[in-house]
């Protein structure tokens, strides 16, 4: 019910009632989105959309930063020497 997915804003316009509307692309599917709650969003930004409303901007820099941290955690754990009984290496499930 609280499902919300990120879409890329590809059009911004005012409708006949003066509401800030637009269209967003969700991996190929384009839908109309109300942008009234995201006045600072520009074309090309990603917004999080719930029941036709953009609830906020997705911060791509923050997304990249936290993803990098997760990847670094992976590298750090790979530097660790297995304990020898194999259980630890198994638990890490190296690909």
Asked if 12 is part of the footprint of another protein (rule: CB under 8 A), the reply reads: no
Asked if 3 is part of the footprint of another protein (rule: CB under 8 A), the reply reads: yes
From 4, 11, 12, 23, residue interacting with another protein (rule: CB under 8 A)? 4
Look up residue 63 and give its DSSP letter.
H
Are the beta carbons of 46 and 57 closer than 8 angstroms?
Answer: yes
From 14, 43, 60, 82, residue interacting with another protein (rule: CB under 8 A)? 60
Binding-site size, another protein (CB under 8 A):
41
Separation of first and last alpha carbons in the chain:
35
Within the chain, strands assigned E span 5-14, 20-26, 29-34, 46-50, 53-57
**C-alpha span between 87 and 95 (Å, rounded):** 15
Q: Which residues form the interface with another protein (CB under 8 A)? A: 1-6, 8, 17, 19, 26-27, 34, 36-39, 46, 48, 50-53, 55-56, 58-60, 62-63, 66-67, 70-71, 73-74, 77, 91-95
């Amino acid at each position: 019910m609280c499902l919300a997915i990120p879409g890329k804003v590809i059009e911004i316009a005012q409708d006949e009632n003066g509401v800030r509307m637009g269209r967003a692309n969700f991996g190929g599917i384009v839908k109309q989105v109300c942008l009234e709650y995201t006045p600072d969003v520009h074309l090309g930004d990603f917004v999080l959309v719930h029941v036709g409303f953009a609830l906020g901007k997705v911060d791509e820099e923050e997304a990249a930063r936290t993803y990098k941290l997760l990847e670094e955690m992976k590298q750090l754990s790979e530097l660790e020497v297995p304990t020898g009984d194999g259980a630890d290496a198994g638990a890490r499930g190296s690909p």
